[in-house]
Chain A
Amino acid sequence: MALRAEYPPPANSRPAGSPAAGRGLDWFNLFVANIQTGFGPFIAVYLISQSWTQTSIGLALSIGTVAAMASQVPAGALVDAIPNKTRVAAFSVLAFTGCALMFAVYPIPLFVYLAEVLHGISSCTLGPATAAMSLVIAGRFGMGLRLGRNARYAAIGNGVGALLMGACGQYVSERAVFYLTAAFTLPALVALLPLRRVAIAGRDLQPPPRQPGQGRAQFFRVLADRRLLIFCGCAMLFTFANAPMLTLMSGTMTAKVGNPSLLVAACIVLPQIIVAIASPAMGRLAERRGRRIVLMIGFCMLPLRGLLFATSTNPTLVVAVQALDGIGGACFGIMVPLIVSDVAARSGHFNLSLGFVGFAIGIGGTLSTPTAGWLADHFSMRTAFFFLSAVGIAAVMLVLAAMPETRPKIDADGQ
């Protein structure tokens, strides 16, 4: 693309990280995923146990959603502006510690709302910071492999975190889950120690110094990049179709089986195992064969899963179908930072672009759950799944028809 021509060829995009830094990033991904498990839908369960009313719980969760949505793009810009991404990551994790402690120690409205906002914002700074550290460690051409590894460790963290926290909530207390979450932030910070140097190493990855007055124009040029916009559309449709599937399905299944908690746990943990297994292969595939093929594999899982859910509610089959979610999740989780790094790695607006995609994903996720729930209530569960499958097919079509290949090697050849 013409946009890239103004930059020198990526001579200095060689890996800058030591093996220790790579391992540190692995562990960091694992513990962050652990932490994030505690901040999921479990918050609603916890607030119920604290005698919160449904209205207040809904308000708290909405505040969190709005904060996360609103801070995606600004947080991306902020991370771009701060040279030391490791420090950003460390502060984000410290913010998580604060959130978890606020929930655990003093769950009054002010603190819960504050924690929700803080968590929304720091999630938005942490994601881009992690991606930026990966970029520095692996370089642009090793990014696919690195992200595959990130996704593997994050999946392990998610799975283990879900099991630990589920058990903790069940056998100890709801409150203990948040103490556990706070405790997990400590090893996450320790894992960042070998990454301290990354900030210095990353300096040669910074874009060429900006000419005065050029900033704003470039800002908009990056966001108006056709590839980024199309990918935002794809990501939004994917999330729209993906987000409500498990919630819808588990709601019906818990009516039928002997131990619903165990079944839902299986539905959550199995995909994480698949992600842990498949991610590195997907990262490699993306480097060798290009992004489009991986994107297609991941996106095709969606309509498939929707149609299978629409036709059967047999618990065993449902758990098996969740394996497809693992494959889809692996592909999508790697492709988001990878494609954004293809498009914007050297523009100086990598994190801003990532925030932009995150915003699109947020819109998809926020709109889809009420829509799917409404369809399930007013028509049937099957209708809702058919609708989600249709959206999934639309996402596949968009990738097929419009999404260009963004792998940098092809890009360089093309010019």
Chain B
Amino acid sequence: MTGPCHEGGSRRPIAMSLVFLCALSACHTAPVVDRTPPKAEPPVSAGESPAPPPPLSPEEKPPEHAVEVPIETPAEPPELPPEAPPPKRRPKSRPEPPPAPPAAAPAPAAPDAEVKPLDNSVVTVLGKKVQGPKGEDMGRVVDVLADADGRVRVAVVEFGGFLGVGNRRIAVDWSLLHFNPDDQAKPLTLSVSRKKLQSAPEYKNSIQPQALMAPQAPVPPQAPASPQAPAPPQVPAGASTPSAAEGKK
């Protein structure tokens, strides 16, 4: 038997990999604790506010439902930057400053961040179940993408498949997702028919990712940015699929 030599040879890697593991999970814990802000995006859009804003500007609104989301035209990037409103972020289950009065203009001299109780209407979006207009299962949210202004633009939803085989990922317009204000445990509602979602191109982390975007109020491809016209919650969006902004940072 060739026992001892092999045995020793195979134990050492195991022990080493255990050490390696512990180290790995140590690095991991940090991101997990504060993974909540979707794609933390320090870059405040270039020419905007002169005041140096602290990373967590306290002027964010609690995310109640989708109605608050102004819809821009799908081919947004051109006209947004000039009058870009304050970087709006979606706080998720995270001890962050509570809703200050929703400031219309960026507060110039933001005071230092402070700890305040968070009202519990916030929910974790990652891993949240998604259902269709008729309550059918549409998978789960696996990622949330924001643009350079820190605005959440699309959610990536994974659905279909069997035991993890054949799943599809589709990026959908943030405004197509509706939160349930009464019951946080309930799935989010995606106002797109299942068929539409299924036939949408798969979201890939590539140069030119595509997403299912909410329809514009009328049809004009690039009307002046009209921040009203929230998506009617229950209408299956005849969503078009222009390419989503610039994908993941």
Contacts and interface: CB of A to CB of B under 8 A. Distances in A.
A41 B165 contact: yes
Interface stretch (A63-71, A297-305, A334-342): A63-71
Given A254-B161, A255-B202, 8 more contacts: A40-B164, A70-B13, A71-B10, A77-B7, A109-B24, A109-B25, A210-B2, A268-B163
Interface in B182-215: 198-199, 202, 204, 206
Given A51-B124, A254-B198, A268 B165 contact: yes
Contacts of B6: 74, 77-78, 80-81, 352
Interface in B24-52: 24-25, 28-29, 31-32, 35
Chain A interface extent, by class: 35 or more
A172 to B, nearest CB: 14
- The residue among A43, A54, A82 with the most chain B CB atoms within 10 A of its own CB is A54
A78 B10 contact: yes
A264 B162 contact: yes
Contact of A110 (B4, B14, B22, B140): B22
A251 B142 CA distance: 17
Contacts of A162: 162-163
A113 B24 contact: yes
Contacts of A348: 1-2
A250 B142 contact: no
A117 B24 CA distance: 12
B165 A247 contact: yes
Interface of B: 1-7, 9-10, 13-14, 17-18, 21-22, 24-25, 28-29, 31-32, 35, 124, 126-127, 140, 142-143, 158, 160-168, 198-199, 202, 204, 206
Contacts of A261: 160-162, 166
Given A48-B142, A74-B6, A59 B164 contact: no
Contacts of B124: 51
Contacts of A255: 168, 198-199, 202
Contacts of B204: 377
A199 interface: no
A26 to B, nearest CB: 24
A340 to B, nearest CB: 17
A91 interface: no
Contacts of B168: 251, 254-255, 260
7 contacts: A51-B124, A71-B10, A109-B24, A113-B21, A114-B21, A219-B2, A260-B168
A261 B164 CA distance: 10
Given A77-B10, A81-B6, A251-B202, A63 B1 contact: no
Given A54-B143, A74-B10, A251-B202, A81 B127 contact: no
A45 B18 CA distance: 25
A262 B137 CA distance: 14
Interface of A: 37, 40-45, 48-56, 59, 63, 67, 70-71, 74-75, 77-78, 80-83, 108-110, 113-114, 117, 121, 162, 165-166, 169, 206, 210, 215-216, 219, 246-247, 250-251, 253-256, 260-265, 267-268, 348-349, 352, 377
Nearest to A125: B10
Pairs A-B, 6 closest by C-beta atoms: A250-B166, A41-B164, A74-B10, A77-B6, A51-B127, A264-B162
Contacts of B162: 162, 166, 260-262, 264-265, 268
Given A77-B9, A81-B1, A377-B206, A71 B140 contact: no
Given A77-B2, A113-B25, A268-B162, A53 B9 contact: no
A29 B180 CA distance: 47
A261 B3 CA distance: 48
B166 A53 contact: no
